[in-house]
Amino acid sequence: MLTIAIREKNSHFTHGIKIIVANVCQHLKKDFCFLSPEHHHCADILFLSLDDNWVTADCYQMPKATKSQRIILICRQKEHQNLMFRPCLYMLPVIFREDEIDEITRKITWWIEPSRHGKNTVAIPAGICQYCTTRSFTVVERQLLSHIAKGHSLKDSASLMKLDENIAKLHRKAIMRKLGIRDQYELHKFLKTNLLFLIHN
């Protein structure tokens, strides 16, 4: 019996996923049942919508959670592009809210297909946590670091964020202090080594 839970605020989207899951399971002759959202920890497969406060949320402990269940993220494509600061979320399989029904059906079929049963759980490696170095940063500091990582100068970054350049310098200084970095060269070296590969182009 495949157990499935959905943690999603949009009731229409939840209903749509339930219909697709039911159709796929019936086609595959797979027994299934839906668990209530509060029992999501017990589910084989969990559909999890991205929290509004994901930037400042506590640790999601995905390496631990994904040892026992398949977690599928629900978010918009634009939101997914910003998950470089939460690499454990970035690595999750994802359903985009913009996906067509056929695409969502294809994805869900792949995750539920019987030959994959028992192999559905793909744990996020614990080593990914070392890249979540920005969890203690403010939202503004995260935004600034994101712009710098994408190759923008401090002046351009400040302009994009509608900040005074001197204020942006203070934020950059705070970032460097938190990372234990002494100068801009080391900051760019850190970005190249640890964060650039997480930028979704």
Lookup: tokens for 196: 């650039």
How would you write the pLDDT of the chain (201 residues) with one tens digit per residue? 999 999 999 999 999 999 999 999 999 999 999 999 999 999 999 999 998 878 667 778 899 999 888 999 999 998 887 787 788 999 999 999 999 999 999 999 998 886 555 555 678 998 888 777 666 778 788 888 878 888 899 999 999 999 999 999 999 999 999 888 999 889 888 887 766 544 543
Q: What phi, psi does 95 have (nearest 5°)?
A: -110, 125
Q: What phi, psi does 73 have (nearest 5°)?
A: -80, 140
Contact of 84 with 63, CB cutoff 8 Å: no
Assigned fold of 133-198:
Arc Repressor Mutant, subunit A (1.10.10)
Sorted by where each begins, the domain ranges of the chain are: 2-129, 133-198
In the CATH scheme, what is the code of domain 2-129? Answer: 3.40.50.2300
Contact of 97 with 13, CB cutoff 8 Å: yes
